[in-house]
């Protein structure tokens, strides 16, 4: 335990000067039941990586992550650190961006089914017959039919 603040706190515990903290049987400093994490960015980062980076499921948001981590760990400014960590996560930024599509999105995606429907139909009637009508119907929901005089 190299963190001078934690060493100071540990000494206060051992001297009986605080009851908020305790030192457990493996000499780890605890705040209540929670393990005190030294002010070391690498260690904190590792803990947050462990809790946040889940390759097979959605990353937890900062609130959920804080709930999980505060059951086991404690460090000053923990909630802020977690919020900052989540805000900086590239995967989370990507997911967020997909939910907040820019205004031009509808126009762009609108062209996709237009091309699928009419480009394909003109070029290759065989492919048109084989096309999955349900998928195409799902796609054309976003098309502004009025934008294309001949379709409306």
**Which residues would be at the binding site for Zn ion (CB under 5 A)?**
59, 89, 91-92
Task: For the CB of residue 42, give the shortest distance to Zn ion in the complex, in Å.
Answer: 19
Cβ proximity to Zn ion: between 58 and 152 the closer is 58
Nearest CB to Zn ion, comparing residues 47 and 92 = 92
Minimal distance, residue 89 CB to Zn ion, in Å: 3
CB of 74 to Zn ion, least distance (A): 22
| Closer residue to Zn ion (CB): 69 or 92 | 92
By beta-carbon proximity to Zn ion, the closer residue of 6 and 86 is 86
Q: How far is the CB of 83 from Zn ion (least distance, A)?
A: 12
| DSSP sequence for the chain | ---HHHHHHHHHHHTT--SSEEE-TTS-EEETTEEEPPS-HHHHHHHHHHHH--TTSPPPPHHHHHHHHHTTEE-TTHHHHHHHHHHH-HHHHHHHHHHS--TTHHHHHHHHHHIIIIIHHHH-HHHHHHS-HHHHHHHHTT--GGGSTTT-
């Amino acid at each position: 335990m190299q963190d001078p603040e934690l060493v100071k706190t540990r000494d206060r515990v051992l001297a009986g000067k605080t009851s908020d903290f305790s030192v457990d049987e493996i000499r780890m400093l605890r705040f209540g039941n929670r393990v005190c994490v030294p002010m070391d960015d690498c260690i904190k980062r590792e803990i947050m990586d462990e809790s946040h980076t889940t390759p097979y499921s959605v990353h937890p948001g900062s609130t959920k992550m804080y709930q999980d981590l505060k059951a086991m760990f404690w460090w000053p400014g923990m909630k802020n650190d977690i919020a900052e960590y989540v805000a900086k996560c590239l995967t989370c930024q990507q997911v967020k961006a997909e939910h907040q599509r820019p205004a031009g999105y509808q126009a762009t995606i609108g062209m996709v089914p237009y091309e699928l429907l009419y480009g394909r139909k003109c070029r290759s009637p065989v492919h048109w017959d084989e096309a999955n009508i349900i998928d195409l119907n799902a796609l054309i929901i976003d098309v502004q039919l009025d934008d294309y005089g001949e379709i409306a």
